[in-house]
Amino acid sequence: MINITLPDGSVKQVFKGSNALDLARQISEGLARNVLAAKVNGKVIDATLPLYEDAHLTLLTWNDPEGKSTMWHSSAHLMAEAIELLYPGVKFGIGPDIENGFYYDIDFGDYDISEKDFSKIEKKILELAKEKQTYQRKEVSKADALDYFSKKGDEYKLELIQDLEDGQITFYKSGQFTDLCRGPHIPNTGFIKAVKLTKVAGAYWRGDENRKQLTRIYGITFPKKKELTAYLEMLEEAKKRDHRVLGKELGLFTFSQKVGLGLPLWLPRGAVLREQLEQYLKRVQKEAGYEPVITPHIGNVNLYKTSGHYQKYGEESFKPIKTPVEGEEFFLKPMNCPHHCEIFNSSPHSYKELPIRYAEFGTVYRYEQSGELHGLTRVRGFTQDDAHIFCTPDQIKSEFNGVIDIVQQIFTAFNFNDVIIQISLRDPQHPEKYIGSDENWEKAENAIKEVAEERGLNAIVEYGEAAFYGPKMDFMVRDAIGRKWQLGTIQVDYNLPERFDLTYIGADNEKHRPVMIHRAPFGSMERFVAVLIEHCGGNFPLWLSPDQAIILPISEKYQNYAEKVLLLLKKHEIRTVIDDRSEKTGRKIRDAELKKIPYMLIVGEKEEASGSVSVRKHGEGDLGTFSIEDFAQKINSEVNKLINY
Ligand SMILES: [Zn+2]
Ligand SMILES: [Zn+2]
């Protein structure tokens, strides 16, 4: 017998050579029916692989990310089998799982494949799935592996095998399809109950544009039909919320080929939105003891040689700007930190001044390939809500706490209620990969872990994910339709203080090295606005809405009164516009609804006579008649409540 320790600490005894499925059956048949794979001593394996030694084991189901990825990778095999049966002679590249589903790169030879063929392939996949084909693992020698795929005539697999070491090669056979694969896979294809092929695209073999372009087919599978339905509904909803579409419809931002790819132009409404965000964060930061600084958009090449950014980004970034004077070279600023280090260095500091917190909405420029650009989420010029905290090693914990206060305040204000936090620490096996003393690393890592624990943050700890210069904490949010977005980060840095020779005078009158903390709760203004648009579908919270109210005079006769209302509301700092087109009121209401303006104020004879407005709320309807003063107060108290003044 061997002892298997489960995640809850309980120990089960099973016969040597039993597998994870046998163990699941010991617990319950119901559980066994849902097991897709197993994690044994940290490694995901087939649930059917025999176990010969004591181990720590986690049963993986559809509810575990690794269960999903095993299912999706196994689905790639199944799709390949279906395609091989329908299109004999095609050749296969690679077929991995991805964040949502899987793909397979295929050389279709003379066959012409388009989305029109999807339903035929999907039907075949489901037909094969019903056969409950098992995924049979087989270890093969390199010679046998090469022999198999030479006979099959698949040069892509042959090339992959050439790069593998003899003794480490495995095949998996399911139904009539044999693939070179290291696994793991689900027990059988019967788990796959619903499939949707989502996209066909070209993909160069091994990502090399000098090599052959294969056809990449993307798909996704589910263990239940209704999960596929829900997924397709989510995709439809995502299309409606696409920030590139809404950004245009709501007049927030645009792009111009003439200005350049990946360089957003903020339109007046977008600029108002962005200004509100900046003012909000500036106020929060001022309360938290940050001081504003302003730095230029370019910096001398030597600045980036000192910071190390030149060595790291110099080659694959924008080329240096040369001045008419010989030997002068400048770079577009890829990061604000080097500039802030020089601000710190501009005067001597005593420990009594620390922590020092410099904040700047700093615009940076980074080269991205044109194919990688996407709306506001991947751009070449963007503004970070950046700040750098210079503190002593002992202050890291309280500074982290302070930054998390700001981050949480922001998430509440924007209705991000589902936050995922990741703490990235050193790889304890390889301390040599990191700079900075062991003592300081331990101090920082413990501080971060303690903060997370004390605040009851449900943080995932990842070892080996830290940057070489310090540990960090990343924040991801789940939006209203369940998608994950990476937002802000807090990062400890021992490297730049070293490189810029930053010092402060300690209580002992000696020079000491401060620690630097980089933090940007929004990440960048561009990315944050994109996420916000998709999260709220363009229905911004009242305090952010570029136009908070629109006045709709029912005819030209009431234009003067409308302007009087506008003036009064502007005095109360309520962002208001008038729809003075000679359209019917019904049409004006419909258009205001489409523009997602929170309040519509209808004015006619009755309103003018009583000095009032008839209020309609976006998406809700009639709220009745208000005096102008009462309406202004209603709006302002609503705004104050939303951002906790
Ligand atoms: Zn596989
Ligand atoms: Zn920085």
pLDDT digits (tens, 9 = 90+) for 341-366: 999 999 999 999 999 999 999 999 99
Can you tell me the mean pLDDT for 558-565?
96
Q: Which of 337, 341, 391, 536 is catalytic?
A: 337
Q: Which of 535, 540, 619, 598 is nearest to 241 (CA)?
A: 535
Cα(254) to ligand 2 centroid in Å equals 28
Rounded-to-integer distance, Cα 497 and Cα 519, Å: 16
Ligand showing the shortest atom-to-Cα distance for residue 182: 1
Cα(337) to ligand 2 centroid in Å equals 4
Cα(304) to ligand 1 centroid in Å equals 44
pLDDT band for 368, please (50, 70, 90 cuts): confident
Each residue's pLDDT tens digit, 109-168: 999 999 999 999 999 999 999 999 999 999 999 999 999 999 999 999 999 999 999 999
Three-state SS annotation for 220-231: EEECCHHHHHHH
Q: Which of 384, 395, 491, 548 is catalytic?
A: 384
Task: For residue 337, indicate whether it is catalytic.
Answer: yes
Each residue's pLDDT tens digit, 54-110: 999 999 999 999 999 999 999 999 999 999 999 999 999 999 999 899 999 999 999
Spell 193-210 as b/e; 16+ CB within 10 A means b.
bbbbbbebeebebeeeee
Structure-block tokens of residue 350:
């005593």
Ligand showing the shortest atom-to-Cα distance for residue 472: 2
Rounded-to-integer distance, Cα 324 and Cα 461, Å: 51
Ligand showing the shortest atom-to-Cα distance for residue 102: 1
Look up residue 66 and give its amino acid: E
| Ion ligand 2 neighbours, Cβ < 5 Å | 337, 518
Q: What is the mean pLDDT of the chain?
A: 93
Each residue's pLDDT tens digit, 479-521: 888 888 988 899 999 889 999 999 999 999 999 999 999 999 9
- According to the model, what pLDDT value does residue 323 have? 85
Structure-block tokens of residue 379:
């751009």
- According to the model, what pLDDT value does residue 412 have? 87
**pLDDT surpasses 80 at 318:** no
Cα(603) to ligand 1 centroid in Å equals 67
Picking from 181-195, 237-251, 390-404, 421-435, which range would have the lowest pLDDT averaged per residue?
A: 421-435
Rounded-to-integer distance, Cα 158 and Cα 147, Å: 9
Cα(518) to ligand 2 centroid in Å equals 5
Each residue's pLDDT tens digit, 7-46: 889 999 999 999 999 999 999 999 999 999 999 988 999 9
Each residue's pLDDT tens digit, 527-558: 999 999 999 999 999 999 999 999 999 999 99
DSSP 65-131: HHHHHHHHHHHHHHHHHHHHHHSTT-EE----EETTEEEEEEE-TT----GGGHHHHHHHHHHHHHT
Can you tell me the mean pLDDT for 560-567?
96
Percent of the chain with pLDDT over 90: 82
- According to the model, what pLDDT value does residue 190 have? 96
Cα(23) to ligand 1 centroid in Å equals 23
Task: For residue 384, indicate whether it is catalytic.
Answer: yes
Q: Which of 622, 626, 624 is nearest to 611 (CA)?
A: 626
- According to the model, what pLDDT value does residue 259 have? 96
- The DSSP bridge pattern shows strands 55-60 and 2-5 to be parallel
Each residue's pLDDT tens digit, 571-630: 999 999 999 999 999 999 999 999 999 999 999 999 999 999 999 999 999 999 999 999
Q: Which of 185, 196, 339, 366 is catalytic?
A: 366
For 186, residues 6+ apart whose C-beta sits below 8 A from its C-beta are 36, 37, 47, 70, 71, 74, 135, 192
- According to the model, what pLDDT value does residue 430 have? 85
- According to the model, what pLDDT value does residue 644 have? 65
Each residue's pLDDT tens digit, 426-456: 988 888 888 778 888 888 899 899 999 999 9
- What are residue 614's phi and psi, to 5 degrees? -95, 120
- According to the model, what pLDDT value does residue 158 have? 96
What is the torsional sign of CA 380, 381, 386, 390?
A: positive
Can you tell me the mean pLDDT for 258-263?
95
**pLDDT surpasses 80 at 313:** no
Read off the pTM.
0.82
Contact 521, 403 (CB under 8 A): yes
- According to the model, what pLDDT value does residue 462 have? 87
Cα(28) to ligand 1 centroid in Å equals 28
- According to the model, what pLDDT value does residue 144 have? 96
Ligand showing the shortest atom-to-Cα distance for residue 389: 2
Is 426 exposed, middle or buried (CB count within 10 Å of its CB: 0-12, 13-18, 19+)? buried
Cα(183) to ligand 1 centroid in Å equals 5
Rounded-to-integer distance, Cα 420 and Cα 569, Å: 40
